[in-house]
């Protein structure tokens, strides 16, 4: 099982937001992660690797306002020229707001193999 640390990069600003980190792991066709930072105290996600190599996730977290929020996400992985992995994501909240958007996660320089 490989564990990978990703840093969140939001579009269209193009700025890295180093305070948000996602720690992904994969076991067969199941991907899971924990995440935190910024306004998020603690979050988890779980998903599946689809036949086209895209990733389908559900996520939930608790924010600093003590709200539980959750949503859905489709991620498309891409290998960058320097060998890092980028996840291009389309997401949507499943709460009252039902807002949607896109984000990019780029794998950092940390990798732990268990």
Q: What is the pLDDT of residues 31-76, one digit of tens each?
A: 999 988 888 899 999 999 999 999 999 999 999 999 999 999 999 9
| CATH topology classification for 2-113 | Lipocalin (2.40.128)
> Model confidence at 107, in pLDDT bands (50, 70, 90)?
confident
Nearest residue to 92 via CA among 103, 101, 84: 101
Find out whether the peptide bond into 12 is cis, omega within 30 degrees of 0: yes
Three-class SS of residue 4?
A: strand
């Amino acid at each position: 099982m490989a564990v990978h640390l990703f840093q969140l990069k939001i579009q269209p600003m193009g700025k890295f937001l180093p305070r948000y980190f996602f720690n992904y792991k994969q076991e067969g066709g199941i991907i899971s992660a924990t995440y935190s930072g910024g306004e998020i105290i603690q979050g988890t996600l779980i998903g599946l690797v689809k036949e086209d190599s895209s990733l389908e996730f559900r996520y939930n977290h608790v924010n600093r306002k003590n709200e539980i929020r959750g949503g859905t996400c489709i991620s498309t992985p891409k290998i960058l020229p320097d060998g890092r992995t980028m996840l291009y994501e389309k997401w949507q909240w499943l709460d009252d707001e039902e807002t949607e958007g896109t984000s990019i996660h780029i794998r950092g320089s940390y990798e732990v193999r268990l």
